[in-house]
């Protein structure tokens, strides 16, 4: 009798060990499958992000070609890449809004060295005093206004940070108004419910002009 009990216990134990081993093997295989699926999903996400990035860069390059056919392709790519980078850095900006601002500010030239009669420089037409102030926050060495602000990458970096900060304060229309005509007028305009007669005449035309370009570039497809 005791021998039968021992044999029974042995068989049950062996069965449990075998079942546990099988389950453990299945668990290991399941874990590997989960890890593989996770890796595939991450890879797909990475591919999607890179595809989106390249599409946006190519889109900006196509916009640049509409305005400045003489710009070398490598420079166009670097500018487009920086615009995309700024659209990712600031969640209230996107490539279309930055491109609209540059197209209008540069008088439709996309010339990195353009200078206004008032002394604003570069693609996003930044005044030297403003540029020097913002450059300090971005860790940009301020050698001279011309050297920094006529560098398209620095100009876009500084201009995007400035525009983003203004949009944070006054929303898109108010931010654009502040970018062109100063914060005081923009704040009064927003506070009045965007009443007529508060903005300077140039600024009153500037805001809808940028918005038209913004919509145009949003609708633009390669």
How far apart (Å, rounded) are the C-alpha atoms in residues 57 and 78?
Answer: 9
Is 105 annotated in the active site? yes
Which is the catalytic residue, given 75, 82, 105, 183?
105
Per the CB < 8 A criterion, the answer to whether 101 and 124 are in contact is yes
Q: What's the angle, vertex CA 93, arms to CA 131 and CA 65, rounded to 5? A: 80
Strand (E) or helix (H) holding 94: none
Interatomic CA distance for residues 135 and 137, integer angstroms:
5
For residue 3, give both structure tokens: 């021998």
One-letter-per-residue 3-state SS of 166-182: HHHHHHHHHHHHHHHHC
**How many helical (H) and strand (E) elements, i.e. helices and strands, does the chain have?**
8, 0
- DSSP code per residue over 97-152: HHHHHHHHHTTT---TT-B-TT--BTTTTB-HHHHHHHHHHHT---S-HHHHHTSH
* Residues annotated as part of the active site: 105
């Amino acid at each position: 009798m005791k021998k039968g009990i021992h044999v029974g216990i042995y068989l049950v134990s062996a069965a449990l060990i075998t079942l546990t081993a099988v389950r453990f093997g299945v668990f290991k295989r399941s874990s590997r499958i989960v890890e593989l699926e996770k890796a595939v999903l991450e890879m797909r996400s990475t591919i999607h992000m890179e595809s989106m990035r390249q599409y946006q860069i190519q889109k900006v390059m196509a916009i640049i070609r509409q305005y400045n056919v003489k710009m070398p392709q490598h420079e166009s790519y670097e500018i487009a890449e920086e615009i995309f980078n700024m659209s990712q850095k600031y969640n209230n900006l996107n490539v279309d809004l930055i491109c609209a601002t540059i197209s209008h500010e540069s008088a439709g030239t996309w010339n990195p060295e353009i200078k206004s009669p008032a002394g604003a420089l570069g693609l996003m037409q930044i005044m030297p005093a403003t540029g020097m102030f913002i450059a300090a926050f971005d860790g940009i060495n301020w050698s001279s206004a011309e050297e920094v602000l006529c560098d398209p990458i620095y100009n876009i970096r500084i201009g995007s940070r400035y525009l983003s900060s203004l949009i944070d304060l006054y929303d898109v229309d108010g931010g654009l108004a502040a970018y062109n005509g100063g914060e005081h007028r923009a704040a009064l305009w927003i506070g009045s419910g965007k009443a007529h007669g508060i903005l300077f005449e140039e600024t009153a035309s500037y805001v809808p002009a940028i918005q038209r370009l913004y919509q145009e570039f949003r609708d633009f497809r390669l």
